[in-house]
Structure 1
């Protein structure tokens, strides 16, 4: 970060020092403005999950006998924009007023969702899903970019923990809400006005989802946040739609990601952590069946252990945020997660696998939280949109890679293991089964450990130039 922006942040933090937050909301959330943003995220995330459930249900209903293909195409439309347009979205977020970007995206998503009850073709659903994802792709980095402007530096870890809870903790709430709306739709009967307004199971969900985004827009509109002063903004920023300038900023963002040791370490660390955790979803059931010889319920127990471990890890990172060195704990958590995943993949007894998988989750939770906190602390406001857009693309790609490629790699390694070792390696009197699923988990864990070591080296290399142990603050000039 520039000396000027750092000095500005320090001046404002000193000014706030005389009036430290004393209310319960400020103690937990850092500020009332972030509390409003968090509530908006809770509502938005609930709507996101509810909309996704309804879209999958609608795709299945209008698929004309090809349910799997229809669902895959619709979900593909939600994934595709991130790969091709996310970096451009980052440039847009960095050039425009971020609060206005969020407002436009919320209203746009609401408009699309209000139209979905009347969509009765797969092509229409695919187009609507694509548009929804474009709005989400702009909203997410804009939200991430303003977080450091809403909370003091020493509250960033807590803020990111709360963001994780808002993003993923609302899935069961949305699932329960979808079930309630389905029951409600059954009570409407076959009245003419019910068919006119498409008040069926999916239609009700889309209407509620649209209302949730309007409520989010209303909350976001009340947020007052601080960012860099006008005199500190990039020269020539008034030409917001200059294509040449946009391309230069795009190159600048990717160059910064490549050469900045902190950003590089976080991107590599989060990407590999997502691959490792994501592989447990498609491979867990295979592992239970082939290695543990357990029941399908055992797989649910493993996922439950992973989720509980992540929750405890996120809470621990939040509670200990001012007592830990984030630049040291982040790579350590990567190594711990990779090592625990290796042990879990080596075990053949459910009683060993479950607690070790909980350790994987315990280490993986802080990886996400601390990674985002390091970026919030060490990326200048001018670049946050591009950096977070790139990170979200990487995370999305790695999750897709883990879900799609892990079963294929497992089958290939299984075939190789049977050909080379007959599926079993003997060391003296010790015989170890090496099915493809175990080899895949070992490979994944090794990559995560290597990423942790690389992140440790990268963060040490950048500690002198970028990391600061002092408590920082938020940036100047209300927007």
Structure 2
């Protein structure tokens, strides 16, 4: 709490945190409003059933397709400009959805809204470290961002949606006055105005987000020895080549991506097979809900507790241990004979996943040079969606292909369903890729000499 309070006393960070609140509240409120509007505009029961899942799919699709391009843009152009343009685009698109009142434009317009969001997020994440006084504050800053995005704003958006959509009943306003979909459309308009508030705040209150005119890195964080000026920056193709070269030359970042790939693949295997796994424990749907709750609580514990652990070991060691530990505990999940054991093990896996995610984000924020941070952030985020999504989708297929097997052990026959081998394979994959990642990162805790001269990033990113 003391570190959080200290961060919030820093005016630039506090303003960005509030702007994040505007946008995250708008994101959740738009999701609720679009789902409500779409369900009333659908012309068939199938359309009603497809509305919410279709909107969720559209929310994910731009991130899967365009996240690397968004990272390139956040490194190529002024980040504050990218964020302001994205906010204005989201505002205009949501207003057009509210005015058009069309089912198909809800899906198509929301696709473009999420495309703008895909541009906004890497620019914000890449610019965040320049607002902090020390690199070791990145972990706490990310924590506060997650609290805002998945805590405060969810409650705020839920309350706003309830108040707006319930206003007709509360104040006795008839549908003839505001129209059949009037309240849902008002919800979308409020979300659009929150994006406009974000754009205004970025323009008026956060000049620190803009890259210096000479293209240099911010104070206290050196860029390449010959940092190009704005007019000398390479084009998109040149930046792609730079990205490939950077990953090849910096084992720290390469190991980070390998480790997260293994952790996400294993996590997706668990999520994808969680429901049949719960049934194999003879716990029914209640067990499925408990397993998801245990994983979520573990994730929160891992994210909250990581900064305390991070002071006792280097970031490389903490990241590697978290991924490898998650893999070993997944083996226990696969072998667990009872729901109680599974709940404890799944919560530990969630805690390890939270630790790995926050540590990885911290490494990118404090150890990757400013001119590359947007691209690495975008790659990190897109990999999260692609690997996790593919793993979730493939796991049920693998469970079906494996099927039930009878195992003869010590004179007894045991019936094993397909979820156990799939989760076991995911755990072993996480252990193997975590070990590879740690070997890549160990001994390479510093990026090449021309990339950093900040003493606070030495020895695992801990301040001296």
Task: Give the alignment's TM-score, normalised by structure 1.
Answer: 0.83
Distance 1:439 1:455 in 2: 24
The corresponding residue for 2:187 is 205
Could you tell me how far 1:347 is from its partner in structure 2?
A: 1.2
Q: Following superposition of structure 1 onto structure 2, how do residues 183-198 of structure 1 map, counting pairs within 5 Å?
A: 183-187=166-170, 189-195=173-179, 198=181
Answer yes or no: is the 8 Å Cα contact 2:21–2:149 preserved in 1. Answer: yes
In structure 2, relative to structure 1, the CA distance for the partners of 1:464 and 1:246 (3 Å cut) is closer
Q: Which residue of 1 aligns with 2:104?
A: 123
Structure 1: state its 5+ residue gaps: 1-22, 474-479
How far apart in 1 are the matches of 2:281 and 2:158? 30
Larger RCO, structures 1/2 (Cα 8 Å, 6+ apart): 1
**Cα gap change, 1:258/1:125 in structure 2, threshold over 3 Å: closer, same or farther?**
farther
2:401 paired residue among 409, 412, 430:
412
1:291-330 alignment runs, 5 A limit: 291-330=280-319
1:461 Cα offset (Å): 4.8
Give the Å deviation of 1:165: 2.4
The answer to whether the Cα contact below 8 Å between 1:342 and 1:441 also exists between their aligned partners in 2 is yes
Once structures 1 and 2 are overlaid, which stretch shifts more, 166-175 or 315-324? 166-175
Measure the CA separation in 2 of the matches of 1:123 and 1:230.
Answer: 45
| Contact 2:267–2:426, Cα closer than 8 Å, also in 1 | no
Distance 1:464 1:239 in 2: 27
Give how far 1:431 is off. Answer: 4.6
Which deviates more, 84-93 or 362-371?
Answer: 84-93
**Distance apart, 1:362 and its partner CA:** 1.1
* Deviation of 1:85 (Å): 2.5
Query: Per the alignment, do residues 24 and 337 of structure 1 end up closer, same or farther by CA in structure 2, a change over 3 Å counting?
Result: closer
RMSD: 2.8
Shift of 1:237: 2.8
Range with greater deviation from structure 2 (294-303 or 176-185): 176-185
SS in 1 for 2:174: coil
**Aligned match of 1:261:** 251
Deviation track 1:125-161 (CA, whole Å, cap 9, x = no partner) reads 2221221111111111101111111111111111122
1:166-315 map, 5 Å: 166-169=148-151, 170-171=153-154, 173-187=156-170, 189-195=173-179, 198-200=181-183, 202-221=184-203, 222-225=205-208, 230=214, 232=216, 234-235=227-228, 237-238=230-231, 245-289=235-279, 291-315=280-304
Task: Indicate yes or no: 2:346 matched with 1:357.
Answer: yes
- Gap change, CA 1:154 and 1:123, over 3 Å in 2: same
Are 2:40 and 1:61 equivalent residues in the alignment? Answer: yes
Figure out how many residues of one structure are paired with residues of the other and give that number: 438
SS at match of 1:425: strand
Partner of 2:380: 391
d(CA) in 1 for partners of 2:157 and 2:423? Answer: 31
SS at match of 1:225: helix
